[in-house]
Chains A and B, each alone.
Chain A
């Protein structure tokens, strides 16, 4: 059971970047005005950010990382470990972490590693980098999480096209023996791997076509209803934390219908569950850091906050974490021209 505690690692800063180019679901083709209104109301998604042809997840994460390193006053050569979480890497080979080691001017003594994860990617990535730093004593680490997911979306597919959006993020972590513990509850169900998939381009279906990501909406929706709330409830029991002690519950931004159902199951007040669905849609693995930077940055910068982070989706995989953030560096959301 992947229900565990990590010590001696703190989150010292978070930054996020989105493309400046904005599209609205009000302008969707092939739907009546009423259908579009209902779609926006049910999903909660009005505007989305779409990267141009030359911008990838690596660029958005690089923007976020540069700003964060600058504001937190870290030198690039101090970074011991870089982990990049994405499902839209620049290339199949090599991974984005290697590209960003060079782009950010990190030293050759920095270890760099890629993780293929989607909606649960921020929580999973946080567990891997914090676990590594906790066990090894590595002093400074960068977690880059982002997707240019619109590049693999079929514009004619109404189950994915109106939902997804692009973003990148950077989170700075430090080894600190005084840091509060982080608690994680991570789960997987590979038997439902077809619920969200893109098969072309891998070794089993190596075609020249890029292919599009497909999603079985009903399956993903019932998965979210069934698994997320119990995962969080179990995590809080494990971490001996009370629901009323948590300052914010930052969920993966899937859609309003699902997120609201999860919130009601947990009986958490709306003001404790920040949302960026309306403005930015579903930015895949980047939704959690984007929502933190966009909606609760003042609180994160001002004092100690106890957060529950919860990601859920492709895999299927899902996970939640209890983290404490004490006056971290959190520059305002970056818009990439």
Chain B
């Protein structure tokens, strides 16, 4: 995968709404709507679908990036 973690993080952070005050790094703080937005962004940018169970196993944005790298390889 060509996209580095900082680039991935920037892409995802661009789709968070600051008004909700979520911790972008900690997935457990995301609302269900925010999770769907992130899934949609990953699908759009990387053509990879992240399932509910897969996302649940990720605790941080870095975990999600690792999952994405794994799914792309």
Contact = CB atoms under 8 A, between A and B. Distances in A.
A226 interface: yes
Interface stretch (A135-143, A214-222, A237-245): A214-222
A20 interface: no
Contacts, number: 48
B17 A226 contact: no
A39 interface: yes
Indicate the member of B33, B49, B50 with the most A CB atoms within 10 Å.
Answer: B33
Contact of A38 (B20, B39, B50): B20
Contact of B35 (A37, A218, A258): A218
A266 interface: no
- A interface: dominant SS: helix
B2 interface: no
Contacts of A258: 40
A99 interface: no
Given A42-B33, A261-B43, A222 B19 contact: no
Chain B interface residue number, banded = 10 to 19
Interface in A32-91: 34-35, 37-39, 42
Indicate the member of A35, A217, A218, A226 with the most B CB atoms within 10 Å.
Answer: A218
A42 B39 CA distance: 13
A159 interface: yes
A258 B36 CA distance: 9
Contacts of A217: 32, 36
Indicate the member of B40, B50, B51, B55 with the most A CB atoms within 10 Å.
Answer: B40
A34 B49 contact: no
Contact of B40 (A34, A35, A39, A261): A261
Given A222-B49, A257-B36, 4 more contacts: A218-B51, A222-B52, A225-B39, A225-B49
18 contacts: A34-B17, A42-B33, A42-B37, A216-B52, A218-B32, A218-B36, A218-B51, A218-B52, A219-B51, A219-B52, A222-B39, A222-B50, A225-B40, A257-B36, A257-B37, A257-B40, A258-B40, A261-B43
